Amino acid sequence: MMTGEAPLNTRRSSNEAAPPGFRALAEYITRELGIKMSDAKVPMLQSRLARRLRALGLDSLEQYHRYLVSSEGAAERPPFFDAVTTNKTDFFREPQHFRYLVESALPSLDPGSDRFWNAQVWSAGCSSGEEAYTIAMTLGDFGAARQRFDFSILATDISQRVLQAGMDAIYEKPLIAPIPEELRKRYLLRSRDPADELYRIVPALRSRVRFSTLNLVGPEYRVSQSFEAIFFRNVMIYFDKPTQERVVCRLCRHLRPGGYLFIGHSESLAGLDVPVRMVAPAVYRQALTGEP
C-alpha cells in the first residue's frame, strides 16, 4: 500500500521540494556520520535506500526514519550505514603518497637500523581494503631492505559490508590492474580456476592488517596505539568544516611525535585549526617533541 508521500522512484526537478522525511533523515545522517546531505542528494538517498525499504515493507523515507530511530531500529543501523556511505578506493590510488611514505616519512622516523622497529599505520576510512593492502605491500618492500623491521596496519570503516570485503581480501582482475607486476608476484595468489580471474592477498600480508569498525564522528575511538602515519584520504570531502577540524584533531592525537597525516589531493586543511603542518602536497606532519 502506498501512502500519499512521493514514491521512491519519482524523478525530481531542480525546483521540486524534497519529499517528506528527507530532511529529518538527512539531519540524522549528518549527526551520526558527519556526512553533509543537501536536497540535491534526494535521488541518491532514495536509490540507495530503496532495497532497505522494500525489505522492511516501508513506503517512504519518512517511515524509514521513524523506524530507524525507534527502539526496534537498532539492528537496521549497520545496513543503513552500508547503504548511505560511499566506498570508492583503488590499489595505489594517488601513488606519490606511498613513495613519500618510504622515501621520506619512514626514514625520518627510523629509530636506527641497529634497533628493531615495529611501525604502525592507520588506514582511516579503509573501504574494501585496497588502501590498507597497498600500504602493507609498500611496507613489506621497505622492510625487506631495512632489516629488523616489522609493521602492522589498522584499517577502519563504518561499513560492515566493505570491512568484510577487506577481510576476505579477494579481488577481481580489473581491480588489481594498478598493482605493479613484481608486487603481484609477491603478494597475490591467483584462484585455482583460471576462469574466475580472482586474486587474494597472501596470508603473510593479510596477517599484518587488522580490520575494525569505527565511526569517525562517534563518541569514542577505541584505538590505543600511536601511529607513524595515518591515511585519511578522500573522506573529509563528505564533512562540513567544523566536522573536518574535529575529526582531524582526534586522529592527530593518535600520531606519534613527528608522525604523518596523508589526505586526498582534492582535500585541504587550509583554515582548520589542526596540530599538523604541510610538508608535501596532501601530506602533513605533527611536530616532534620540543618543536614549536
Do 37 and 103 sit in the same domain of this protein?
no
Distance CA 4, CA 247 (A): 40
What confidence score (pLDDT) does residue 38 get?
A: 83
For residue 17, being part of any structural domain is answered with no
What confidence score (pLDDT) does residue 266 get?
A: 92
Q: How confident is the model at residue 46 (pLDDT cuts 50, 70, 90)?
A: confident
Do 42 and 172 sit in the same domain of this protein?
no
What confidence score (pLDDT) does residue 14 get?
A: 43
Distance CA 13, CA 43 (A): 10
Whether 122 shows a pLDDT value over 90: the answer reads yes
Distance CA 125, CA 52 (A): 23
What confidence score (pLDDT) does residue 17 get?
A: 61
Catalytic hit among 48, 66, 186, 256 = 48
Whether 136 shows a pLDDT value over 90: the answer reads yes
Choose between 54 and 7: higher pLDDT. Answer: 54
* Final residue of a structural domain among 84, 111, 131: 84
State mean pLDDT over 255-267. Answer: 96
Whether 185 shows a pLDDT value over 50: the answer reads yes
What confidence score (pLDDT) does residue 43 get?
A: 87
Residues whose CB is less than 8 angstroms from the CB of residue 281 and which lie 6 or more positions away in sequence, other chains included: 96, 265
Q: How confident is the model at residue 12 (pLDDT cuts 50, 70, 90)?
A: very low
Do 265 and 201 sit in the same domain of this protein?
yes
* Final residue of a structural domain among 84, 108, 136: 84
pLDDT digits (tens, 9 = 90+) for 230-250: 999 999 988 999 999 999 999
DSSP code string of the chain? ---SSPPTT----TTSPPPTTHHHHHHHHHHHH-----GGGHHHHHHHHHHHHHHHT--SHHHHHHHHTSGGGGGGHHHHHHHHS-----TTSSTHHHHHIIIIIHHHH---TTS-EEEEEEEET-TTTHHHHHHHHHHHHHHHHHSSEEEEEEEEES-HHHHHHHHHTEEEGGGGTTS-HHHHHHHEEE-SSTTT-EEEE-HHHHTTEEEEE--TTSS-----S-EEEEE--S-GGGS-HHHHHHHHHHHHTTEEEEEEEE--TT---TT---SEEEEETTEEEEPPTT--
Question: Is 77 one of the annotated active-site residues of the chain?
Answer: no
Whether 1 shows a pLDDT value over 60: the answer reads no
For residue 27, the enclosing domain spans 22-84
Do 214 and 161 sit in the same domain of this protein?
yes
pTM equals 0.87
Do 72 and 113 sit in the same domain of this protein?
no
What confidence score (pLDDT) does residue 194 get?
A: 78
Question: Is 157 one of the annotated active-site residues of the chain?
Answer: yes
Q: How confident is the model at residue 292 (pLDDT cuts 50, 70, 90)?
A: low
Catalytic hit among 157, 206, 233, 285 = 157
Do 122 and 36 sit in the same domain of this protein?
no
220 with 249: CB under 8 angstroms? no
For residue 3, being part of any structural domain is answered with no
What confidence score (pLDDT) does residue 20 get?
A: 67
Amino acid at 141: D
pLDDT digits (tens, 9 = 90+) for 19-44: 667 888 889 999 999 988 888 888 88
State mean pLDDT over 173-193. Answer: 95
* Final residue of a structural domain among 84, 104, 133: 84
How many independent structural domains does the chain possess? 2
For residue 2, being part of any structural domain is answered with no
Do 208 and 278 sit in the same domain of this protein?
yes
